[in-house]
């Protein structure tokens, strides 16, 4: 990303209930608490636009991928950020989803081009969700998986044998912990 600045193209669904000012606050918190101190990126240009009303609620992965391919405008490299009202169906209970591990911030309009989240009303919490999902977009895996016994491939990330009890996990403060726990730490290898 040019000059240490990260540009963002934000598309907001009316059903999200989020105003541009709220998303600006989330982005300010994202850069202040995560991107700048952890990886040295500053906030670049941000442009806003509407998101088609059909994407107010994302019902499944197929619809999510369709949304990612629907927006091809904006310069690259930049993060395409989609603000939606809710996730349902096979993506129910998600707070955010990345286009892939890694995704595609260099080319827009692909099934891997972007990150989506549903606002909670808590700027700092939403910033932690975006930091996590953007980590996936950048190629990072969960430090520990919940459904299966698996861990990320990096040698310096702690692992948790029982992620169902986050308070006992040595990786609970990591941005890539699998449960939305507000982690704000990256290991040196994650930050590369």
pLDDT reported for residue 1: 46
Largest CA distance in the chain: 44
CB 69 within 8 A of CB 11: no
Q: What are the start-end ranges of the H helices in 12-122?
A: 20-30, 61-70
pLDDT in the model for residue 120: 95
- What pLDDT shows up at residue 3? 56
- Residue carrying the six token digits 């692909």: 110
- pLDDT 10s per residue in the chain (192 long)? 445 788 899 999 999 999 999 999 999 999 999 999 998 889 999 999 999 999 999 999 999 999 999 887 777 788 899 999 999 988 878 899 999 999 887 788 888 889 999 999 999 999 999 999 999 998 999 998 887 777 888 999 998 888 778 888 999 999 999 887 788 999 999 988
Q: What's the pLDDT at 66?
A: 94
The three-state secondary structure class of 185 is strand
Those residues whose C-beta lies under 8 Å from the C-beta of residue 133, and which sit 6 or more positions away, are 96, 97, 98, 115, 116, 117
Taking the model in full, what pTM does it have? 0.91
């Amino acid at each position: 990303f040019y000059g240490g600045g990260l540009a963002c193209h934000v598309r907001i669904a009316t059903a999200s209930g989020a105003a541009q000012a709220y998303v600006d606050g989330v982005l300010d918190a994202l850069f202040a608490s995560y991107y700048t101190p952890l990886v040295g990126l500053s906030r670049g240009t941000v442009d806003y636009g509407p998101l088609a009303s059909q994407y107010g609620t994302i019902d499944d992965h197929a619809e999510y991928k369709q949304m990612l391919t629907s927006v091809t405008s904006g310069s690259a490299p930049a993060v395409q950020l989609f603000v939606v009202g809710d996730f349902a169906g096979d993506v129910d209970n998600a707070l955010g989803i990345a286009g892939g591990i890694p995704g595609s911030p260099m080319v827009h309009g692909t099934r891997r081009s972007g990150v989506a989240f549903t606002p909670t009303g808590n700027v700092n919490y939403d910033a932690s969700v975006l930091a996590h999902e953007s980590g996936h977009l950048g190629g990072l895996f969960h430090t520990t998986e919940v459904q299966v016994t698996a861990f990320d491939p990096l040698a310096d990330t702690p692992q948790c044998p029982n992620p169902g009890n986050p308070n006992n996990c040595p990786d609970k403060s990591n941005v890539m912990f699998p449960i939305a726990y507000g982690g704000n730490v990256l290991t040196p290898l994650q930050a590369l």
